[in-house]
Amino acid sequence: MATGNRWSLAVFLAAGFCLPLPSWPQASGRFVQAELHTTITARSAKVGDPVKASASSSVTLPNGVQIHRGAEIYGQVRAVDANSIAISFDEVEEQGKKTPLSLSIRGAMMPSSDPAKPSQDTAGQAGSVIGMPGVTLQVDDSPQHASKFESSNKKFQLKQGLQLMLAVPQ
Give residue-wise pLDDT tens across range 136-156: 998 877 777 789 999 988 788
Tell me, what's the pLDDT at 45?
Answer: 95
What pTM did the predictor assign? 0.74
Tell me, what's the pLDDT at 26?
Answer: 46
* Interatomic CA distance for residues 164 and 102, integer angstroms: 15
- At residue 119, the 3 state secondary structure works out as coil
Averaged pLDDT score across all residues of the chain = 78
Three-class SS of 16-80: HHHCCCCCCCCEECCEEEEEECCCEECCCCCCCCEEEEEECCCEECCCCCEECCCCEEEEEEEEE
Q: What are the domain boundaries of the chain?
A: 26-112+124-167
Instruction: Using the predicted structure, report yes or no on whether residue 9 has a pLDDT greater than 70.
Output: no
Q: Which residue has the higher pLDDT, 65 or 142?
A: 65
Give residue-wise pLDDT tens across range 112-129: 755 455 444 444 445 678
Tell me, what's the pLDDT at 113?
Answer: 54
CATH class given for the domain over 26-112+124-167: mainly beta
Strand 147-150 and strand 163-167: the pairing is: unpaired
